[in-house]
Structure 1
Amino acid sequence: MKIANQISMKEIAKLCDVSVATVSRVINNNGRFSEETRKKVLDTIEKYQYNTNTVAKALRMKKSNTIGIIVPDISNEFFSTIVHGVESFFFEKGFSTIICNTGKSKEKEKVYLKTLDSKMVDGLICISGQEEIEASLLSRNIPIVTMDRRPKMTNNLAIIESDHSQGGYLATKHLIEKGCKNIIILTKKNRLSPDIDRMEGYKEALTEYGIPFTLQSIVETTDHPKGNFEAAREAIRQELESGRTFDGVFATNDWIALGVVKALSDFGKKVPDDVKVVGFDDITIVKYIETPLTTIRHDVEKLAEVTSKLFYQLLTEKDVLIKQKHIKIPVELIARKTT
């Protein structure tokens, strides 16, 4: 008899008297085949190919005790902390975790979705990245929890995010209360839902205090090969060189805020005396720089905890009805030296 781990898909097909394509469809649970064929192929896989026993078992049980996490940038401190918290929670529950780093690429995310589906993951956690999830790439209707993204799909979907609108409001209100009357918002040109919500909070605070909002209030960064810091630095430099004046900047993330502070310094402006700056995220570095940054802090531990518990409930309770499927976690303002 052939050594178990050397058996090929072609040989499995021959033993089952079916085509290689049929074996592939059974393994990937994709396409048309009879229940009799399915059982025959799975029995052969279990008998001859021990290294795919987990696949066969998953197909039989319709459960793999594996989850997939799609993350746009694992080097990002916010994302990596969330992923670590979720992975730790599910490890204790007996689940394996497959982490897929997309590098913010839409095409890469599509490939990973198909790969995770073929590996029979029980559910998906999709963190930020592309706004829409290509649900058509999934062959099964599995639970999906998203963080900081709001897809149009509704089946088996829960959304968990920081209260970005509250954060934008708190940041802008703080600048106003510190005496700023001409506040710009600096944000990325290609905005996802968190950036849009932060801008809505900014507008809400301006309206509350009777400060007019115009399209000129928004300054957009363009893509820069060296990232958000240099993109923000360039955008503020252009505004200052054009003669524009402002006394406050709400930057929609901390790296943008740090670029603002550098650009102001390059131009001879003092922070916070001439211009006050508030960021968003509270990444570790901002408290250690020469002028520690005022920013909005996520409750990262709470985000990971709520995401894990809700996702686990969706995975383990049949036909569970979640009372609240769109959850916003409050944020807080951390006042430091840039205001």
Structure 2
Amino acid sequence: MKKYSIKDIAELSGVSVATVSRVINDNGRFSEETRKRVLRVIEETGYKMNYSAKSLRMNKSFSIGILVPDISNYFFSDVVQKIEEILFDKGYSTIICNTARNQEKETAYLHMLEGKGVDGLIVISGAEAFEFDYSQIEKQIPYICIDREPKEKSRTIFISSNHYQGAFEATEQLIHSGCKQPIIAVHNRKSTSTKERLNGFKDALKKNNIAFNENSNLLNVDIRSSLFEADLISFLARNPAADGIFSLNDSIALEILLVLRKNIRSVPKYIKLIGFDDMPAGRYSSPTLSTVKQDTSKIALTAVESLLNLISFPSDTGKSIIIPVSLTLRESTQGN
């Protein structure tokens, strides 16, 4: 099979080498007709760009590092998958690093990505107890943070769902559905998103003249613990007036739902339940789970556009972009 060069592609397309380069890099001016013609010739000839030569010529690796705390988490995996798809369409490869919320592992991955010469970093959430510390690496690599407060906001762009809005509206939904004593179920209180959701919950109670008390409105849970079921039933026994639960995420909400069903406490008749993240499993639970939906498509697109802009204009930092959320109401919050 003949090995085609970019010059061959230009001749077969009837355009200049510069135009072929602009089409390949999706950069510069060319008509839609020209784009389609060049791409058709590339497909017909099986032309493959010499990325090594291109990287050396442009001093770019066309690769992006993504630090994710838990790839098994639905929200994280959904965002990462969409980011990867967008970057691929733009000619970038991705190196996905699962840090397991471990600071030492994250630091090791940072040094590895630095060594590979990635053009940029996307840092998604992370260990609850520490902020992302960019000073751990020597090279000035553009980076953006998703759902993770950066240590130095002036050096990056922070992108997050509106966690406060989601919690506030979820709690108000419980109250409007008839709940007099809603509680919030949390698994930690250190992450940025948790703090915002707790604030939204408290403010919704305050707006509706319901006093917040840590003993009766705050349920600390660990769904991985063998004591989870006993702790939940014990909490509800101590707080018999509790009639609604806003869960920090859908995973916790679904585990709570299983325990309530096992202990013959009907949802939504006995207690109403709403989660956060809109996991697919919530559509198939019994009853189906009401939840707060994060706009992962917009988060992913905003992250990619922000990072690629930073790569071109490194000083365009110091921004915070908050993405609105929406309620998805199902059976678990229906009125009696």
TM-score bracket for this pair, using the shorter chain length: 0.7 to 0.9
Aligned with residue 92 of structure 2, among 90, 95, 99: 95
Q: Which residue of 2 aligns with 1:49?
A: none
CA–CA distance in structure 2, aligned partners of residues 190 and 208 of structure 1? 22
Deviations 1:222-273 (A, max 9, x none): 4725xxxx77544312213446431011100001111221222222211111
Note the C-alpha offset of 1:190.
4.7
Structure 2 Cα separation of the partners of residues 180 and 267 of structure 1: 20
Looking at structure 2, the residues matched to 137 and 66 of structure 1 have their Cα atoms a distance apart, in angstroms, of: 20
Query: Is residue 257 of structure 2 the alignment partner of residue 257 of structure 1?
Result: no
Deviation readout 1:280-339 (Å, 9 max, x if unpaired): 000001011121001101111111111111111111x234535x7111111111111111
Per-residue CA deviations over 1:3-45 (Å, capped at 9, x if unaligned) read xxxxxxxxxxxxxxxxxxxxxxxxxxxxxxxxxxxxxxxxxxx
Which residue is equivalent to 1:23? none
1:335 correspondence with 2:332: no
> Which amino acid letter does the alignment assign opposite residue 330 of structure 1?
P
Mapped contact 1:159–1:327 kept (Cα < 8 A):
yes
Contact 2:142 2:314 in 1 (8 A): no
Q: Summarize the alignment of residues 121-132 of structure 1 with structure 2, pairs less than 5 Å apart.
A: 121-130=118-127, 131-132=130-131
Quick one: structure 1 residues 204 and 190, their matched pair in 2 at CA, closer, same or farther if it must change by over 3 Å? closer
Checking the alignment, whether the CA contact within 8 Å between 1:157 and 1:325 is kept in structure 2 is: yes
**Residue matched to 1:170:** 169
Kindly provide the amino acid, as one letter, of the partner of residue 231 in structure 2.
A
Map of 2:284 onto structure 1: 288
CA spacing shift, 1:238–1:98, aligned 2, 3 Å: same
Aligned to 2:73: 76
Counterpart of 1:318 in structure 2 is 313
Matched, 1:279 2:275: yes
Q: TM-score of the superposition, structure 1-length normalised?
A: 0.77
Quote the Cα distance in structure 2 between the aligned partners of 1:333 and 1:319: 36
SS at match of 2:331: coil
- Count how many residue pairs are aligned between Structure 1 and Structure 2: 280
Q: Report the TM-score when normalising by structure 2.
A: 0.77
* Compared CA separation, residues 90 and 243, structure 1 to 2 (3 A): closer
Deviation (angstroms), 1:220:
0.6
Q: Which runs of 5+ in 1 are unaligned?
A: 1-52
Q: Distance in 1 between matches of 2:283 and 2:329?
A: 10
Give, in whole Å, the separation in 2 of the partners of 1:234 and 1:106.
32
Contact 1:141 1:156 in 2 (8 A): no
Instruction: Give 1:61 deviation, angstroms.
Output: 5.7
Q: Give the Å deviation of 1:134.
A: 2.9
1:100-146: CA deviation from partner (whole Å, max 9, x where unpaired): 11122222111101111111111110111124123222111221111
Residues 153, 319 of structure 2: 8 Å contact kept: no
2: CA distance between counterparts of 1:64 and 1:144? Answer: 15
Q: Residue type matched to 1:220 in 2?
A: N
Q: Indicate the percent of aligned positions where both proteins have the same amino acid.
A: 37
Higher mean C-alpha displacement, 61-70 vs 90-99: 61-70
Q: Within 2, Cα distance between the matches of 1:61 and 1:94?
A: 14
Distance 1:118 1:207, change over 3 A: same
Question: Counterpart of 1:198 in structure 2: which amino acid?
Answer: R
Q: Is the 8 A contact 2:63 2:95 kept in 1?
A: yes
1:108-123 maps to which residues of 2 (within 5 A)? 108-123=105-120
Q: Distance in 1 between matches of 2:126 and 2:314?
A: 29
User: Could you tell me which residue of structure 2 aligns to residue 297 of structure 1?
Assistant: 293
- Please identify, of 89-98 and 230-239, the stretch whose mean Cα deviation from structure 2 is larger: 230-239
Q: How does 1:181-260 map to 2 (within 5 A)?
A: 181-216=180-215, 217-222=217-222, 224=224, 233-242=229-238, 244-260=240-256
Using a 3 Å threshold, how does the CA distance of structure 1 residues 109 and 223 change in structure 2: closer, same or farther? farther
Contact 1:233/1:262 (8 A) holds in 2: no
1:133 pairs with 2:137: no
Structure 1: which amino acid aligns with 2:187?
K
Higher relative contact order (CA 8 A, sep 6+): 2
Equivalent residues of 1:142, 1:156 under 8 A apart: no
Q: Are residues 113 and 231 of structure 1, via their aligned partners in 2, closer, same or farther at CA, if it must alter by over 3 Å?
A: farther
Kindly provide the CA deviation profile for residues 196-219 of structure 1, in whole angstroms up to 9, marking residues without a partner as x. 111111011111111111122111
**SS in structure 1 opposite 2:100?**
coil
Alpha-carbon RMSD: 2.3
- TM-superposed CA distance for 1:178, in Å, is 0.7
